[in-house]
Chain A
Amino acid sequence: MDRRIRVLIAKPGLDGHDRGAKVVARALRDAGMEVIYTGLRQTPEMIVSAALQEDVDAIGLSILSGAHMHYFSEVRRLLEEQNAGDVLLFGGGIIPDEDVPRLKALGVAAVFGPGTSTQDIVDFLKQAAPARWAAQEG
């Protein structure tokens, strides 16, 4: 049986702009994945705890407020702390190009800016999640 990819889509922080998060959540679900959407105003602690509880393969953060460096590094730190550093972390929103290498250096696997096709995100997860499973088994 095909293993289904489990993804947590989260809106960290105070920002309420959730159009992108919801569109992505729905597109991933339509692509056959298990999607959990956290709703608004999540702290990094809440996000990581939901991710562990739901045993997800990936966490997608949607951030448009400019606070992306703070939230990605916090989520990353908490994942490491919980020995869950192998959970894929990706995200999107209003994120300047200059910050993308800094995010990647933190261990963010992919950053999807405005105008990304949801298919690109689906393709990314379909490639990255099985690689993670293989690493777990290997």
Chain B
Amino acid sequence: MSTNRPKSAWMRETYNKSLEKMPERPVAHKTLSGIAPEPLYTPEDLKGFDYDQKLGHPGEYPYTRGVYGSMYRSKLWTMRMFAGFGSAEQTNERFKKLLKAGQTGLSTAFDLPTLMGYDSDHPLSKGEVGKCGVAVSSLADMEILFEGINLEEVTTSMTINSPANAIWAMYLAAAKKKGYRWERLGGTIQNDILKEFIAQKEFIFPPEPSVKLVIDTFEWGPKHVPKWNFISVSGYHIREAGSTAVQELAFTLADGLEYVDWALRRGLEIDEFAPRISFFFNAHNDFFEEICKFRAARRIWAREMRERYGAKNPQSWALRTHAQTAGVSLTAQQPLNNIARVAIQALAAVLGGTNSLHTDAYDEALALPTEDSATIALRTQQIIAYETGVTHTIDPLAGSYYVEWLTDEMERQALAILEEIRRMGGVVRAIEEGYFLREIADASYHFQQEVERGERIIVGVNAFQEEGLQVPIQLVDPEVERVQNARLAQVRRERDPIAVQVALEGLRQAAKEGRNTMPHFVECALAYATLGEMMDELRAVYGVYEEPVLV
């Protein structure tokens, strides 16, 4: 497609004339990443655009248009709603309801003590048990959590990072005790410790031993649980912490490449582990920027894997991703408006070709979702999937002058950041230097200032305000902490103390000698060693990390 009419002529003769009659609105015409799009894109902006090199067909290198050949015509994205609160019994009940409502995969939220590797009865757990996820302190909790759910039929995602090895081991132990075969289990552990240092801050050990534990799963996973995604390299939290979309894209891919480097140094074969690396991106408000972010991510990853790392297996090139709508974009003011935000963000993720999706509930700026609000969020996905028709044709926005220009621009900016991180000596070095903390704090402060100056409008917050409007919210019963601690005491009483001691000793030795810890985590889990006990063994060997305090 081409035109003989230069854009500059149109600007001069037509656009500027329009402006004389009606000037541009006094808002910043720029994306959330600060990219300032022109008023119009034309064939001129895509001059020399090489379709095969930049896009390729779906399911083919470089996967810009999607990782599967038939995408949503064959299989819709997995509708995977993150859930977890209170006791294992309560969350198990919510899981069963979500499956009954047509959800196709499970996703587990753990409470803060679990995320930080403390048992529910640890002094630091006081007041936090079951608050923002489910408490899992031992195999006994894990067994209750998945009671009555066929683990060979559903896939389960678990948002767990620093204690990921231990929690995965508990899941595998629970499956084994029920007679499910590991080679048939599918699911994901988030297990992305780098973004914890960068953004979410749920780290326990210093960066180096933390990454070592991740690489243990890279080595052990493909041999024992071949269908499991043992990592979900996550930009989601980086974005939630206040980064821009471009930073989210670049930092996430940098993290992914850092794990690849570590795995190669361990002596692993790239085509054995790379196909099981999965990703997790945010779906935020800036509609086109979000769509382009997903497309650029796939293209960059494919090129890095094939050109730089020499991966031969096409599955190593294909970036599969989960997406979640942006919790940070939800407003406590006029909370029902969030239903519209979530729908638009979810649509962006789908048009960006996501493989799996969680939609936030409208009340998440207030509390954990209620059953009703979580159902509306799932229904939002179903409306996109079954009513809008966006699933008929693959990557329907490809070839749009703007979308292709913006995809290229985001790729260009992300590659520059990747290069900057490489020059610093990689992600671990950049963490140690406080690079990410600084970059993200600056971006989030900048955004806040734009909002306060009224340059960014947030409906219901700094414009179109309205009083009142209450919605019912989910509260967590404080009784959970007592019930959970009673169960933990019972586990400690009834288990075989010698078996626990032997298993924990094995774990400590493996950590000390730098051997793979996964077999020992499984042994500990089967012996009903608690999460806190396992993590304490490693705290003794690796030490604990404290981040530099930067504002």
Contact = CB atoms under 8 A, between A and B. Distances in A.
Interface of A: 13-19, 22-23, 25-27, 29, 35, 37-40, 43, 64-67, 69-71, 94, 96-98, 113-115, 117-119
B201 interface: yes
A23 B473 CA distance: 27
A23 B444 contact: yes
12 contacts: A13-B112, A14-B113, A16-B201, A19-B328, A19-B444, A23-B448, A25-B551, A66-B368, A66-B476, A98-B473, A113-B332, A119-B452
A119 B115 CA distance: 34
B547 interface: yes
B441 A96 contact: no
B444 A22 contact: yes
Nearest to B475: A96
A70 B126 contact: yes
Contacts of A17: 200-201, 240-241
B367 A94 contact: yes
B127 A115 contact: no
Contacts of B115: 14
A113 B19 CA distance: 40
Contacts of A25: 551
B332 A70 contact: no
Nearest to A16: B201
Contact of A66 (B125, B132, B331): B132
A35 B549 contact: no
A94 B239 CA distance: 18
Given A23-B445, A26-B445, A94-B367, A14 B128 contact: yes
B462 interface: yes
Contacts of B366: 94, 96-97
B458 interface: yes
Contacts of B461: 115
Contact of B112 (A14, A18, A69): A14
Contacts of B200: 16-17
Contacts of B284: none
A123 B466 CA distance: 22
Contacts of B131: 65-67
Contacts of A66: 128, 131-132, 367-368, 476
B334 to A, nearest CB: 10
A52 B131 CA distance: 30
B365 A94 contact: yes
B90 interface: no
A15 B112 contact: yes
Contact of A39 (B333, B470, B547): B547
Would you call the interface of chain A mostly helix, strand, loop, or mixed?
loop
Contacts of B35: none
A114 B365 contact: yes
Contact of A38 (B332, B462, B549): B549
A23 to B, nearest CB: 5
A29 B551 CA distance: 10
Contacts of B460: 115
A45 to B, nearest CB: 11
B242 interface: yes
B202 interface: yes
B158 interface: no
B551 A65 contact: no
A98 B363 CA distance: 14
Contact of B116 (A14, A35, A98): A14
A40 B367 contact: no
B124 interface: yes
Interface in B363-402: 365-368
Contacts of A18: 201, 241
A118 B448 contact: yes
Contacts of A113: 332, 365
A43 B118 CA distance: 15
A48 B123 CA distance: 18
Given A66-B476, A96-B473, A97-B366, 13 more contacts: A15-B112, A15-B132, A18-B241, A22-B551, A38-B549, A65-B128, A66-B132, A70-B127, A71-B127, A96-B475, A97-B470, A113-B365, A114-B331
Contacts of B445: 22-23, 26-27
Given A26-B551, A65-B132, A117-B462, A19 B242 contact: yes
Contacts of B441: 22, 26
Given A18-B201, A96-B475, A118 B128 contact: no
B60 to A, nearest CB: 39
Nearest to B546: A39
B201 A37 contact: no
Lowest 4 CB-CB distances: which A-B pairs, in order? A16-B201, A70-B127, A66-B131, A39-B549
